[in-house]
């Protein structure tokens, strides 16, 4: 029950990143997604892992709050396709996690697949660097959590947290004219 809810929360966080354009919405998305992933991963791998992931996600969320488009801008006009994407991704991830694959950690499978799918789609579809970096942060956390499917040590989680934290604070050079 808890793991299922946490997986849903992780999906919700990723969906927020897809649907939001403002820095507050994005930060909330990172925070929610981090919470969900941390709980799901922590249930399998332990509290230390959850703490590491939470720290990384928190740093990413804080970094997003200080840079990026202002406001929330959740579901701005024209975001219906994005909403459909979120729902479709959830359904597909659910199908794969429960229907095709087997074993324990179905919640973890759902969480990482849905977050990777949504974060990847957001990177591909967005032209705003801040939005992309937010997606990078959550995608990194998901990759770290996916290591738990293979019974990994703590290092993937540490690496994921570092990448996520860095993505939230990465300075961008101004593009030069051609």
Residues facing 74 on adjacent strands: 20
CA angle 29, 68, 71 (to 5 degrees): 65
Q: What is the spatial distance between Cα 30 and Cα 115, in angstroms, rounded to a whole number?
A: 11
Q: Which stretch binds another protein (CB under 8 A): 24-32, 37-45, 81-89, 122-130?
A: 122-130
CA angle 48, 50, 55 (to 5 degrees): 95
DSSP 8-state assignment for residue 95: I
Smallest gap from residue 148 Cβ to another protein (A): 9
Q: Which of 133, 134, 138, 169 binds another protein (CB under 8 A)?
A: 133
Q: Which of 38, 94, 116, 138 binds another protein (CB under 8 A)?
A: 116
For 46, 94, 110, 123, 175, the CA distances from 19, given in Å and listed in that order, are: 31, 20, 20, 13, 26
Q: Which stretch binds another protein (CB under 8 A): 5-13, 64-72, 78-86, 108-116?
A: 108-116
Is residue 70 helix, strand or coil?
coil
**Residue 76, interface with another protein (CB under 8 A)?**
no
Q: Are 146 and 112 in contact (CB under 8 A)?
A: yes
**Residue 43, interface with another protein (CB under 8 A)?**
no
- Residue 10: half-sphere exposure toward Cβ, Cα within 13 Å: 38
Smallest gap from residue 16 Cβ to another protein (A): 19
Q: Which stretch binds another protein (CB under 8 A): 23-31, 47-55, 68-76, 138-146?
A: 138-146
**Residue 81, interface with another protein (CB under 8 A)?**
no
Binding interface with another protein (CB under 8 A): 100-103, 109, 112-113, 116-117, 119-120, 123-129, 132-133, 136, 139-140, 142-144, 146-147, 149-150, 152-153, 155-156, 159-160, 162-163, 166-167, 170-178
């Amino acid at each position: 029950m808890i793991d299922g809810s946490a997986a849903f929360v992780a999906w919700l966080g990723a969906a927020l990143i897809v649907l939001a354009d403002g820095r507050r919405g994005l930060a909330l998305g990172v925070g929610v997604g981090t919470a969900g992933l941390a709980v799901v991963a922590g249930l399998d791998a332990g509290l230390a892992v959850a703490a590491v992931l939470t720290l990384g996600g928190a740093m990413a969320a804080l970094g997003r709050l200080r840079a990026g488009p202002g406001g929330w801008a959740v579901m701005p006009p024209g975001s219906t396709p994005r909403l459909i994407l979120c729902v479709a991704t959830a359904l597909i991830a659910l199908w794969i996690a429960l229907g095709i694959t087997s074993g324990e950690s179905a919640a973890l499978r759902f969480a990482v697949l849905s977050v990777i799918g949504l974060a990847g789609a957001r990177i591909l579809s967005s032209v705003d660097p801040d939005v992309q970096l937010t997606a990078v942060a959550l995608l990194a956390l998901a990759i770290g959590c996916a290591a738990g499917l293979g019974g990994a040590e703590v290092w993937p989680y540490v690496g994921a947290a570092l990448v996520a934290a860095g993505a939230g604070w990465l300075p961008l050079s101004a593009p030069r004219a051609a």
